[in-house]
Amino acid sequence: MNIIVLVKQVPDTEAKIRIADDGNQIDEASISFIVNPYDEYAIEAALQLKEAHGGEITLVSLGPGGAIAALRTGLAMGADKAVLLKAENSRFMNSQAVAGQIGKVLADRQFDLVLCGKKAVDTDAQQIGTLLAMNLEISVISSIVELNIAGNQITAKREVEGGTETVSCQLPAVLTCEKGLNEPRYPNLRGIMMAKKKPIEEIVVDVVDSVTDFKFENPPQKAEGRIVGEGVDAVPELARLLREEAKVI
Amino acid sequence: MKYSGPDFYHITDLLTEDELLIQQTANDFVQEKFMPLIREHHQRATFPMELIPQMGELGFFGASLPEAAGGAAVSNVAYGLIMHELERGDSGLRSFASVQGGLVMYPIWKYGSDEQKQRWLPKLSAGTAIGCFGLTEPDFGSNPGGMITRAKRTDDGWVLNGAKMWITNGSIADVALVWVKDDANVVRGFLVEKGTPGFSAPEMKGKLSLRASVTSELILQDVVVPESAILPNVNGLKGPLSCLTQARYSIAWGAIGAAVDCYETALRYAKERKQFSKPIAGYQLTQAKLVDMLEEITKALLLVIQLGRLKDQGKMDYTQVSLAKRNNVHIARDIARSAREILGANGILDEYPVQRHAMNLESVYTYEGTHEMHTLIVGQKITGLNAVD
Ligand SMILES: Cc1cc2nc3c(=O)[nH]c(=O)nc-3n(C[C@H](O)[C@H](O)[C@H](O)COP(=O)(O)OP(=O)(O)OC[C@H]3O[C@@H](n4cnc5c(N)ncnc54)[C@H](O)[C@@H]3O)c2cc1C
């Protein structure tokens, strides 16, 4: 089975984000970048499928040159090769533009399955997988938490409000991965050393300047918390405040 | 990716992409798998055995050794960064890895027979077998050359008699590398397997330091071993000493990890804890402590990065390792105490890591050559005069 996994490099979820002085980008010098955590579920799912069915895993990332580090992490986990769609100013591209560029490249390639995270934790848009499936005119199942593939038949469970839903479709398809699908492996040392020798193809893509008026702002400062008491004795006062001050109950 | 720790001097720029990824892997492993367990293991004085094969699978044991030796052929700096992360968790975790890789896999690979290598290296590397290193004796610590444990030749092998003390992993080891003197008074290394008649390894109890690490005696009473148990390719004290150079190298890196954990805990705490009108981090006395910590950590890191590069180039000298072990453990020990002061009463609780690190570092200060012995090693190097005879 030939599997494409989409990988995005995002700021470390534990990083303290600082807005650069010009207000339209984050100060990248002060933060560490990681593989988008949802994409790790996609990589792990691909590795498990490869272990069961054989085949080849190709990682695809659209982003600046630095995104190569995210690809190396995925290669170290066990993927076979990678493609970097290089766009230094990719942050000015909206989801449609990104999915369009990835779709263009994938249209010429042989694959059975595309896996990606259900969303990237930086933009939180939840669009790429679905838009890509639309561009490629293939099926999509989003936010999967369980996956089974037998022959050409995909059966996946997805979480919906208050329960799970079981959905089936045929290969080829796009599946977007939700937390809970699996436990991503750590890249081991032999994998990290081998990753250095795996091929990364670079394709420069046009930055379609689809987002203008780009601006970041810090969220408003949170007011300091208040302790109204301890144990059961505090409940009446807490209930009163929630009702009268916060007006949430 | 960035160096995980206080990077005041853009130390990230001195590290390669794969070194950073290796540190990240070790960091994720320790924070996710080990930290939830350490408090209880520390209280009960036990080691989290289930993590040993996991560390093996990740490639942590003897990582800088060639693949034929069961290693992953990573740079010595990458290996150091793993030790940094393990000891950021607990010195006991790093001790386990130092012994397994530096004191057992290294000598078997360097001095062992093909048969010994085939029998032990794959399992030690995978963490499916555990090794220990027996040099110290009850009456011979800083002066291991005085050892009285003996190997007597017989017609078809050897008989070992004597006792070792303070042996990390002794009771849980499948194989003990025991250093003894032969009939000609020459130090030789023997691989003694668990269960060999006359060989026992009772655990030493009551440790107030390195509690989450097994420390044992090795008792050898008329232990009969075949000729194939001896490490064929080394004679004399330089055998065990060359292993110690490997393990000391890992300690020089590891100690920084413990220091970083103490510093980061103290910094976070000082910013949150308010006394009088503001957070205690706002007072000059606290700032002086925090700056001292950062300064020493930064210097210590630069020291070991250069040491690692020298080791990769084959230019490292054991006296340079002594200087790094001496300095880095010393500063880590001071930093742990200072961090404890900043945390006030909370500092003594095991809810925070600093007192545990402070206690651990007492062992680290003493084992693998005491602080004083490393002073004498460097002292001899620069004066040409040996303080001990
Ligand atoms: C937790 C733990 C784990 C250990 N694990 C191992 C292991 O796996 N394998 C192993 O073989 N050993 C191990 N050791 C033993 C360790 O290496 C020894 O404790 C160490 O070498 C010091 O020996 P000693 O304790 O006998 O102290 P001593 O040698 O008796 O020293 C006592 C004090 O005297 C000082 N001193 C000694 N000689 C001189 C001198 N000439 N000039 C100035 N000062 C001097 C020392 O610096 C020290 O301060 C371990 C120890 C500990 C605590």
ipTM of predicted assembly, 2 dp: 0.89
Asked if residue A228 belongs to a domain, the reply is: no
Asked if residue A15 belongs to a domain, the reply is: yes
Per-residue pLDDT averaged across A230-245, rounded?
91
Which of B137, B217, B296, B368 is flagged as catalytic? Answer: B368
DSSP B136: -
Res A19: pLDDT? 87
Determine the distance from the C-alpha atom of residue B145 to the mean position of all C-alpha atoms in its chain, rounded to a whole number. 21
Res A9: pLDDT? 96
Burial of B312 (0-12, 13-18, 19+ CB in 10 A): middle
For A68, the token pair is 């190569």
**B172 touches B47 (CB < 8 A):** yes
Distance from CA of A224 to the nearest CA of B (A): 13
As its CATH architecture, domain B238-383 has: Up-down Bundle (1.20)
As its CATH architecture, domain B131-229 has: Beta Barrel (2.40)
Asked if residue A239 belongs to a domain, the reply is: no
Percentage of residues in chain A having pLDDT higher than 90: 73
Residue type, B173: A
Asked if residue A106 belongs to a domain, the reply is: yes
Res A207: pLDDT? 80
User: Reduced to 3 states, what is the DSSP secondary structure of residue B334?
Assistant: helix
Chain B positions touching A189 (Cβ under 8 A) are 22, 25, 58-60, 63, 72, 74, 78
> Which tens digits make up the pLDDT trace of B175-196?
999 999 999 999 999 999 999 9
Structural domain tally of chain A? 1
Asked if residue A221 belongs to a domain, the reply is: no
CB of B370 sitting under 6 A from ligand 1: yes
Determine the distance from the C-alpha atom of residue B19 to the mean position of all C-alpha atoms in its chain, rounded to a whole number. 20
CB of B168 sitting under 6 A from ligand 1: yes
Establish whether the linkage from the previous residue to A172 is cis, with ω within 30° of 0.
yes
The reply to whether B11 touches chain A by the CB within 8 Å rule is no
- How many whole angstroms separate alpha carbon A72 and alpha carbon A20? 28
Res A186: pLDDT? 95
The CATH T-level fold of domain B11-126 is Butyryl-Coa Dehydrogenase, subunit A; domain 1 (1.10.540)
| pLDDT over threshold 80, residue A131 | yes
The reply to whether B274 touches chain A by the CB within 8 Å rule is no
Average model confidence (pLDDT) across chain B: 97
Sign of CA dihedral B348, B349, B353, B357: positive
Could you tell me the CATH number of the domain that includes residue A77? 3.40.50.620
Please, which pLDDT band fits residue B165 given cuts at 50, 70 and 90? very high
Res A26: pLDDT? 81
- For B79, phi then psi, to 5°, come to -60, -45
Centre of ligand 1 to C-alpha B256, Å, is 21
| pLDDT over threshold 90, residue B25 | yes
Per-residue pLDDT averaged across A43-60, rounded?
97
Pairing of strands A81-86, A200-204: parallel
Please, which pLDDT band fits residue A14 given cuts at 50, 70 and 90? confident
Q: How far is CA B17 from CA A87, B181, B196, B221, in A?
A: 21, 46, 46, 51
What DSSP string describes B36-57?
A: HHHHHHHHHT---TTHHHHHHH
Q: Name residues whose C-beta falls within 8 Å of residue B132's C-beta, 6 or more positions apart in sequence.
A: B99, B103, B104, B167, B168, B169, B170, B173, B175, B176, B177, B201, B216, B218
Chain A positions touching B67 (Cβ under 8 A) are 190
> Which tens digits make up the pLDDT trace of A98-111?
999 999 999 999 99
Per-residue pLDDT averaged across A17-41, rounded?
87
- How many whole angstroms separate alpha carbon A64 and alpha carbon A11? 13
Query: What Rg, from alpha-carbon coordinates, does chain A have?
Result: 21
Centre of ligand 1 to C-alpha A4, Å, is 56
> Which tens digits make up the pLDDT trace of B194-247?
999 999 999 999 999 999 999 999 999 999 999 999 999 999 999 999 999 999
- How many whole angstroms separate alpha carbon B135 and alpha carbon B107? 13
Sign of CA dihedral B53, B54, B57, B61: negative
- For B144, phi then psi, to 5°, come to -65, -25
Chain A positions touching B2 (Cβ under 8 A) are 31-32
> Is B295 a catalytic site residue?
no
Mutant choice from A192, A197, A198 vs B, greatest count of B C-beta within 10 A: A192
For B82, the token pair is 């793993």
Res A18: pLDDT? 86
Alpha helices in chain B (DSSP H): 17-29, 35-44, 51-58, 76-89, 91-97, 106-111, 114-126, 238-272, 284-312, 318-342, 354-366, 371-383
For A3, the token pair is 């599997």
Q: Which domain holds residue A39?
A: 2-216
| pLDDT over threshold 70, residue A213 | no
Please, which pLDDT band fits residue A209 given cuts at 50, 70 and 90? low
Question: What's the half-sphere exposure (Cβ side, CA atoms, 13 Å) at B29?
Answer: 30
Percentage of residues in chain A having pLDDT higher than 70: 98
Work out the number of other CB atoms within 10 angstroms of the CB of residue B356: 25
Asked if residue A91 belongs to a domain, the reply is: yes
CB of B149 sitting under 6 A from ligand 1: no
